[in-house]
Amino acid sequence: MTRPKARTQPNVQSVDAFLAGLADAARRADAIALREIMERVSGEPAVMWGGSLVGFGAYRYSYESGREGSMARVSFSPRAKELVLYGMGGFPEYENRLQKLGKHRTGKACLYIGRLADVDGAVLEELLSETLRYLRERYPPDE
C-alpha cells in the first residue's frame, strides 16, 4: 500500500515574497521580526513549507505504524488573527516558562501569539531554544 505524501513539504517559494505579501502591515512586521528571531535562535535559514509555513531546520520522524516523514524543527505561520508557532514544547519546564511569556494561548505543540509586543521576547527566545534542544535530542540531526 502506497502512503500519501505529506502535504507540508519544503519548497522553493520565497520566504521574503511570502512575508512581503502579507496584507496587514502590523502582522507583516511581526512576521519579519519573528523570522529574524527564529533564524538567530535556530541557526537555520527560513524555508517555506507548504504555502504558508515558514520553517527552520528539519527532522525525520517515524511512527510504530510505519508512517515516516519530515517536518521543520520549528516553524510559524502568520495567520489573520495571530502568529502560530508550531513544534513548540516537549521539554519539562515548558509550562513554567509559558507562565512568564505574556499574553498567549496554546494548542497541541502550538503557541498562539496575537502580537509580538504582547509577549516577553527573552522568554520567547528561551522557549524556542529549549524546544530546539529537546527536538535535537529526540530527533538527532542526520550525520
**87 in Cβ contact with 135 (< 8 Å):** yes
Handedness of CA 35, 36, 41, 47 (dihedral sign): positive
**b/e per residue 89-112 (b: at least 16 CB within 10 A):** bebeebeebbeebbebeeeeeebb
**112 in Cβ contact with 104 (< 8 Å):** yes
**52 in Cβ contact with 77 (< 8 Å):** yes
- pLDDT interval class at 6 (50, 70, 90): low
**78 in Cβ contact with 28 (< 8 Å):** yes
10 Å CB burial of residue 25 (0-12, 13-18, 19+) is exposed
Domain membership of residue 143 (yes or no) is: no
Whether 53 has a pLDDT exceeding 60, the answer reads yes
Q: Is this structure's pTM higher than 0.95?
A: no
Query: 30-43, pLDDT tens digit by residue?
Result: 999 999 999 999 99
Domain membership of residue 7 (yes or no) is: no
Cα distance between residue 84 and residue 129, in whole Å: 17
Domain membership of residue 88 (yes or no) is: yes
What is the β-pairing status of strands 110-113 and 59-62?
unpaired
Q: CATH number of the domain at 122, please.
A: 3.90.1150
Q: Choose between 6 and 1: higher pLDDT.
A: 6
Cα distance between residue 82 and residue 90, in whole Å: 22
Query: 103-132, pLDDT tens digit by residue?
Result: 999 998 899 999 999 999 999 999 999 999
- Percent pLDDT > 70 in the chain is 94
- Containing structural domain, residue 125: 15-136
Domain count, the chain: 1
Domain membership of residue 9 (yes or no) is: no
